[in-house]
Structure 1
C-alpha cells in the first residue's frame, strides 16, 4: 500500500501539493507514482520564473521503465526547483514527500487547492 500523507492535496495525475506558511506551494510526485515508475534516473524540471497553467505539462521524470510527464496542479509561477534532483534523481524514490520534491510555486489563486483531492480521494483514485 502506498503512503498517502493526510496533510497534502493530490492531483489525479499523481502530483502532491503542500501549502507552505508563506503562501507558496511545494509540488512533488506521490509514493504511488514513484513506485509505478520504478528507479528514477533523470528529472527535467521547469525554469524558475516560468508561468504554469493548471493541468499543463511542466516537467518530465525518466525511469528505467518509462518517461512520464508531470503536470502543474495549480496555476502560478515557479519560485524554486529542487537542485538535489539534478545529481540525485533517485531521491524521488527514497523520499517522494520529503527531499524528493520537484518545485515550489507562487499560486495565482489559492482557491485552486479546493479542486484537488484529499488523501481519501486520492486513495480511492488509485485503488
Structure 2
C-alpha cells in the first residue's frame, strides 16, 4: 500500500505541464529606485534599488513600472520557451532588465538575445 502511495506521489511530481508559479526576476540597471505596481490595486508590489534584482509573481498582465516621476505600463509578456528558465520543480522565471535608458527588455536563456517590451498596455 505504501508503495502505491509513493508511486502516485512520485509520478505526480514528475508530470510535465504548466508550472504552479511564474516569476519575473527584474534587474534594475538604472541610477534610481524602481517601483513595480499592481495593475489591479495600484499599490506598490515591490521596490528595487539600483543594481539590485527583485522578484514578483507574474499574472500574465501588463507590467506597471515606476521610474523617477513617471509610471509606464508595458505590454504583457508573451511567454515563449526561449524566455522561461526553470527555477525549481514547480516554478519558473523570466529575466527582465530595466536599463539606464528606461527600456525594459527580456533576456533569452539560450543565446542571451534580448526582446524589448512595448511600452503600451491595451
Greater fraction helix: 1
Greater fraction strand: 2
TM-score, normalisation: structure 2: 0.30
TM-score, normalisation: structure 1: 0.29
| Structure of larger gyration radius | 2
Larger RCO (CA within 8 A; separation ≥ 6): 1
